[in-house]
């Protein structure tokens, strides 16, 4: 099931290279700690900051986020 979600838009967040390297392949809770709390510097990316509100990262959350982001892109690009 991991392969189905790993490269989907709903699963992706924008990060600086440094933050991405710190998070490696840790689980969601540990990644979240590295992304937002490790160096007291928040990311400037709104799409990444919204992840802070989630306590877990499930296929259902990824699917919901995927639909929302795709809808936003379709409207923006007038598809």
Q: What are phi and psi of 64, to 5 degrees?
A: -60, -45
Q: With a cut of 70, list the residues of the chain below it in pLDDT.
A: none
Rounded Cα distance, 6 and 41, in Å: 26
Overall domain count for the chain:
1
pTM: 0.83
* Domain of 69, in residue numbers: 2-76
The percentage of residues in the chain with a pLDDT greater than 90, rounded to a whole number, is 43
- pLDDT computed for residue 57 by the predictor: 94
Rounded Cα distance, 27 and 25, in Å: 7
């Amino acid at each position: 099931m991991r392969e189905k979600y790993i490269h989907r838009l709903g699963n992706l967040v924008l990060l600086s290279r440094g933050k991405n390297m710190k998070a490696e392949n840790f689980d969601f809770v540990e990644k979240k700690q590295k992304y937002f709390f490790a160096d007291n510097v928040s990311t400037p990316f709104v799409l990444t900051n919204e992840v802070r509100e989630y306590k877990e990262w499930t296929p259902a959350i990824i699917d919901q986020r995927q639909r929302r982001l795709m809808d936003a892109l379709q409207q923006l690009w007038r598809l």
